[in-house]
Structure 1
Amino acid sequence: MSNQLSIDQAFINNLNTIIEDHIEDDQFGVEELAIALGISRSQLHRKLNAINGKSTSQFIREFRLEKAMDMLQDNVATASEIAYKVGFSSPSYFNTSFNQYYGYPPGEVKFRNPLNDEDVVEIPPMNDNAEPVLLKRRRFNPRTYVIASMVLILIAIISYYNFAKPETNTTSEIIDPVISSDNSIAVLPFRNMSGNPDNEAFCDGMTTAVISGLSKIRDIKKVISFTSMMNYRNSNKSIPEISDELKVHYILESGFQKSGNEIKINLQLIDGTSDKLIWSEEYEGKYDSVFKLQARVAEMVAKQLKAKITEEERTGIHKPSTKNMEAYANEVQGFYLLNSYSTKNIIASRKYFEKAIELDSAYADAYTSLGRTYSTLGTWYGNLSRKEADSLAAPYFKKALQLNPKNFQLIYSMAEKELFNWNFKSADSLINIFEQQRGKFFFSSFIDLLLCRNDEVIESTHHLLKENPDASWGYHAVLAAYAYYFKGKKESSLYVMRKGLQLAPDQNYYDHFGNIYLAMGDYEKAKDVLETGLQISDKRHASMVIHLAAVYYYLGDEGKSKELLNEVIDRANKGEPEINVFVAHYYARLGNKDEAFKWLDIAYKKHEVDMIWLKADPNLLKLKNDPRYKLLCQKVGFPETKNNFN
């Protein structure tokens, strides 16, 4: 046994040496490592998996991340520079991978230790006899309605259950739409010029504040959302490329520097169509005057865009979200963690929002964000049922609504909540309000996909097919891959999946892309993608297990297929929330309609989130001509459409 351990350790040491010799080569991957060892990829994968249960790509990635951690702790360079030094093709992908592996972004290495088990927070039980719930990671696995005036925003939110939007089934030619208005702008994420990674959160706070201020000015026709702009953090794309993709005329580039109580902001307003500098300015001030600076920036940019500002709008721009600077600092830090796509960070962000509320009980943004932490963990990021998540989030959303019903972050959060509760028209309408000021982004494309508006999905994600897309992919790749598949554009779907896994690999991608490969009948590729996804995931996602069960069935291994199916059925019978729908997917895929509808009925009665995929999951294609399918779609609340899976 000791001899075997020695042989295995020697093999691992050899791998480490080879990878370290090529550490800066972002093209050095599984194929290159196998060649260097003189064995096949499959041999390398089997041997490594037998030793430590890891895939080869996971082993390489973790080796690079651990080297990066050493460099960050030794402060040898900035996080972006280190990303390239350890072989990552883009800092954004490095940040995402580092965050997933260590539980916090690379910028926080010098200021905190990795989150320990005590940071995993228990949600209090709903009653005295219930057990507390331990939050763990569970990843995810225009319109014709026009608001007549901003006054209706208040009415829309308070009565959002009553929204209705006529459905359209028109398709559009897939072409680059022209920039719709000269009076449109995107604010690039503020650059951290201080060299202190701890200021990354403040940079995001400045970006959010300027976007929010500009969005309050009705005469500015389009302001791209913060969520969409985060795709361009560390992007190497040119200003004209970004302008073309976002369909805006102007781009605001900014830098933020903070040293003690002193802050400095550098601004450059650029014509996105010509790449010409229109205006630049520098502001300096004290940190406790940051709200005045944010308002000043919004006003000066609006002036350059020749946008008129009413007195009401000016008052709104200058009204600070809080007068307590310590509360603001906590909210900014919490918001930064909440948007990191790490379950531990989402949980950890709650203490910052709770502290912000403790310091300022009228801080609407903090209530909204705290509600989002619970609501998010009721989907693919946690193990809460939708009912539990809504119950925990509701008081915070209610309080935020009372304090500031026109808050766009609240509108977005409530749109999410409505969608996950099957209220498609309400979600669609609320997102329309958001889009009118913030521009189109992935969530609206997600709704398009769920409602079979595949042409609109493709139109909004067409730029993904351009060369060197780097950070702009994000979850758009998943939406585009499905939309191209349903439109019969197999090669485009394959291209998007290959690029998605190459540029921004994520367990969520492996789940969805494995599902699409399964639908295409490429079972070996589906098996490889899904097994890799399970290996890099921090839990066994029921959707991936079920997809893999179907793959094994078609590969002729019915024993393995049944074993995986029974695993998920057993978990469902033991009360694991939100997974009955996946058992239905298995039976639907195999053509057993009666069993499929039996499990769909269970999922319907439990109000499972993933029922929103009823019209957009290829596993359910064989059910679409069954009268029971149409009836179920009506019961779930889907708007009527002529065709499904179109």
Structure 2
Amino acid sequence: MSSNDNFYKDFQEKSSGKILVDKLTKEIEANLNNEQFGVDSLAQSVGMSRSNLHRKLNKLLNTSTSRFIREYRLKRALEILKQEDITASEVAYRIGFSSATYFNTSFHKFYGYTPGDVKSRISREIEQSTQQFTNKNEKKLSIDSGSSKTTKSKNKKTVLWVTLLLVIIASALFFFNDISKKEESILGVEKTTHEKSIAVLPFKNLTGKPDLEYVSDGMTDAVISRLTKVSAIGKVIPFTSTLSYKKTKKTIKEIATELNVSTLLQGNLQISGNRIKISLQLIDATTSEHIWSEEYARDWKSDEIFGLQTELVEGIASNMNSVIAKDELADIKKTPTKSKLAYSYYLQGEFQRQKGNELSYLNAISLYEKAITVDSNFVDPYIDMANVWNMGGSVWGFYDEQIAWGNAMALLEKALKIEPTNQRVEEELNTGSFFYDWNFELVEKFYQNILGNSIHDKPSVISLDYPIKTGRPEETLKAIEYYIINDPSNVFYPFFKAEAMFYLGSTDEANEILTQTDPLYKDNWFYLRESTKLYFYLEEYEKSKIQLKKILNQFSDYPPILMWLNAVYAQMDGNSNEVIQYLGELQNEYDKGSSGSPAWFIALYYAHIKDYERTFEWLQKSYDRHEVEMTWLREEPLLAPVRNDPQYKELYEKVGFSSIGLPIKSTSDF
């Protein structure tokens, strides 16, 4: 190909690229205030597939489609704020943001200042221009010393008038900003609630048989999962968050306010013989008035049960004035298994998995295996059993780490053969690859894909935990700000936000977040464990001890992290006998080959008392065992003093942080 041909090809590509960008811009402008207009809508409007449009924009502008839409809206927001006297909340809804909070956050990240600062910045620009004018006139006055007294008087009057005008403008802008902020604070609660948002409360089990609770919970979860596929419904609260309201005495308005939704769905389930009946009530959260109610009855057969779930979703969507697209309906109608028995085993397995303890995990594995035996092509049991192995071998410390990961991988490989594009499989594989294999290169690619496609509707461990451990806590905050809009009661968000703030150096704010959150999750094992550790790093030792006591009083599970905390506080209290006892417990777990990273926590104990020779002895043992807590090596506060030590640097390289270009943190960074 000649140079002329290359030039012509480049010209054509640039020309067609400009035409495409112009067309996309016009489509976004035409749908500017339509909060439902997103990546799929834009791709459809220009006759392209979602993936093809993403590749085109990435090549032309080095950006994703979602970012292109968001940044165009933010640029229009700035224009509106400069031209009109309206609040930031009003601008948010005019440019298609369903949440004023998310708009403020996105605007600040893009421009470096908040929407409320726009007017004050204009004021400063006027002031600077006026000052330049004043200085110019004053300079002219000083140079033109031979001018008449009358001319000097006129110039001085001009300066005075300009200065007075500046004061008036500044006062007006200050008043305007003050009023705007007050309006935003008043309107914020109502306007940040998505117009079409719903929380499905756990269906009540009216069968008279407590052992059928798994059916009512399973049906609730299934309905929620299908509702998330309806793009016209902007926000659907996940089952894990509504589950906490199972036995609540809170009012409709209280629940709706906490979950930040406009609609609530209540239901109950009854079974008579082989017949299942579900009664639903759709309630307006603002007025507590019933919008719609209906009863559905079917035979307890797999095909009819899934048909019933689809019918429920169609009824809910219809009464929320939300149209289900054809492709969405096809997805909703998918039948995961044709076996009633396999589905029943699976629902029982899910019911056990949600309890999150060693016995329930054991029960869940057995039930998932039964579901797979009945229907080997039923993909969900493979994925959720893999999740049990992953969690049980890492977070909980129930199973040998490498055995757990081997079992999880085998299950996920089988799931991939059934559904090669299943996103949940990809997430579980990358989560395990990070914790067990320390495969930073693989996980970094997955993480960057998450960042480039911010439309993921659910968070993953990789989107919250991984950036903190790799020195990017600000990205964890960004993810939380995005996901919390759809799931405000998720237990992970307040904790990870507090943890991110701690690693950003905002210790007071981290402490405040935990203090406000403690009453909400006083019986949640995960939150209690993680807040106990974070309070320790915040040097809020009494608060940490309170959380530790709650765990020990409420739960029988006793992993190495609790032994370590017990040992640390025994040492701080001067109780040497208890120190020996708790270190002995950790040593015993290590000798048995237990998971839960006992060697790591022994190393941290010695780091706490500044015995760094033993610290490295046990860090090496932790590395040799491939313990999952070694993923904290870069950020662990207790290891800050030894980051310059050659032994630390060697471990850092071997674990794999350098493989993605992460330098060792400076000792002064903590």
Provide the TM-score with structure 1 as the length reference.
0.62
The 1:187/1:410 distance shift into structure 2, 3 A limit, reads: farther
The superposition leaves residues 212-256 of structure 1 with CA deviations (integer Å, 9 ceiling, x where unpaired) of: 222333444443332233233223344444444444443332222
Alignment match, 1:404: 419
Query: 2:330 aligned with 1:311, yes or no?
Result: no
Alignment match, 1:612: 631
The 1:427/1:238 distance shift into structure 2, 3 A limit, reads: farther
The 1:357/1:599 distance shift into structure 2, 3 A limit, reads: same
Is the contact between residue 458 and residue 483 of structure 1 (CA under 8 Å) also seen in structure 2? no
Aligned-residue offset at 1:210:
1.3
Which secondary structure does the structure 2 equivalent of 1:370 belong to? helix
Alignment match, 1:132: none
- Indicate which of 271, 281, 289 corresponds to 1:258: 271
Give runs of aligned pairs for residues 45-60 of structure 1, distance below 5 A: none
Alignment match, 2:618: 599
Return 283-292 or 530-539, whichever deviates more.
530-539
- Indicate which of 228, 249, 256 corresponds to 1:215: 228
Is the contact between residue 447 and residue 462 of structure 2 (CA under 8 Å) also seen in structure 1? no
Alignment match, 1:120: none
Cα distance in structure 2, aligned partners of 1:575 and 1:622? 29
Is the contact between residue 251 and residue 269 of structure 1 (CA under 8 Å) also seen in structure 2? yes
Is the contact between residue 188 and residue 233 of structure 1 (CA under 8 Å) also seen in structure 2? yes
Alignment match, 1:39: none
Alignment match, 2:473: 452
Query: 2:363 aligned with 1:345, yes or no?
Result: no
Is the contact between residue 386 and residue 408 of structure 2 (CA under 8 Å) also seen in structure 1? yes
Aligned-residue offset at 1:620:
4.0
The 1:328/1:570 distance shift into structure 2, 3 A limit, reads: closer
Aligned-residue offset at 1:482:
4.0
Q: Which amino acid aligns with 1:604?
A: Y
Give runs of aligned pairs for residues 52-71 of structure 1, distance below 5 A: none
Q: Report which of the two structures shows the higher radius of gyration computed on alpha carbons.
A: 2
The 1:512/1:221 distance shift into structure 2, 3 A limit, reads: closer
Is the contact between residue 530 and residue 544 of structure 1 (CA under 8 Å) also seen in structure 2? yes
Alignment match, 1:565: 583
Query: 2:572 aligned with 1:554, yes or no?
Result: yes
The 1:250/1:633 distance shift into structure 2, 3 A limit, reads: farther
Cα distance in structure 2, aligned partners of 1:185 and 1:172? 33
Query: 2:243 aligned with 1:230, yes or no?
Result: yes
The 1:500/1:370 distance shift into structure 2, 3 A limit, reads: same
Aligned-residue offset at 1:439:
4.7
The 1:225/1:272 distance shift into structure 2, 3 A limit, reads: same
Cα distance in structure 1, aligned partners of 2:50 and 2:275? 39
- How many residues get paired? 482
Return 215-224 or 391-400, whichever deviates more.
215-224
Provide the TM-score with structure 2 as the length reference.
0.60
The 1:192/1:630 distance shift into structure 2, 3 A limit, reads: farther
Tell me, which stretches of 5 or more residues in structure 2 are unaligned? 1-38, 44-48, 55-63, 68-105, 115-184
Is the contact between residue 427 and residue 460 of structure 2 (CA under 8 Å) also seen in structure 1? no
Query: 2:410 aligned with 1:395, yes or no?
Result: yes
The 1:551/1:625 distance shift into structure 2, 3 A limit, reads: farther
Q: Which amino acid aligns with 1:588?
A: A
Is the contact between residue 224 and residue 439 of structure 1 (CA under 8 Å) also seen in structure 2? no
- Indicate which of 519, 535, 550 corresponds to 1:499: 519
Cα distance in structure 2, aligned partners of 1:481 and 1:376? 22
Tell me, which stretches of 5 or more residues in structure 1 are unaligned? 1-145, 156-163, 464-468
Q: Which amino acid aligns with 2:473?
A: C
Cα distance in structure 2, aligned partners of 1:584 and 1:209? 44
Superposed CA RMSD: 4.6
Aligned-residue offset at 1:567:
4.5
Aligned-residue offset at 1:304:
3.4
The 1:235/1:529 distance shift into structure 2, 3 A limit, reads: closer
Cα distance in structure 1, aligned partners of 2:113 and 2:447? 19
The superposition leaves residues 105-164 of structure 1 with CA deviations (integer Å, 9 ceiling, x where unpaired) of: xxxxxxxxxxxxxxxxxxxxxxxxxxxxxxxxxxxxxxxxx99999769x9xxxxxxxx9
Q: Which amino acid aligns with 1:556?
A: G
Q: Which amino acid aligns with 1:564?
A: Y
Aligned-residue offset at 1:483:
5.0
The 1:570/1:256 distance shift into structure 2, 3 A limit, reads: closer
Is the contact between residue 452 and residue 616 of structure 1 (CA under 8 Å) also seen in structure 2? no
- Indicate which of 177, 198, 201 corresponds to 2:214: 201
The superposition leaves residues 497-551 of structure 1 with CA deviations (integer Å, 9 ceiling, x where unpaired) of: 75267x3164x55544443444344556655754674566545532222222222
What is the aligned-residue identity percentage? Answer: 29
Q: Which amino acid aligns with 1:611?
A: M
Give runs of aligned pairs for residues 390-469 of structure 1, distance below 5 A: 390-405=405-420, 407=422, 410=425, 413-414=428-429, 416-421=431-436, 422=438, 423=440, 425=444, 428=447, 436=455, 438-439=457-458, 445-446=464-465, 450=469, 451-453=472-474, 455=477
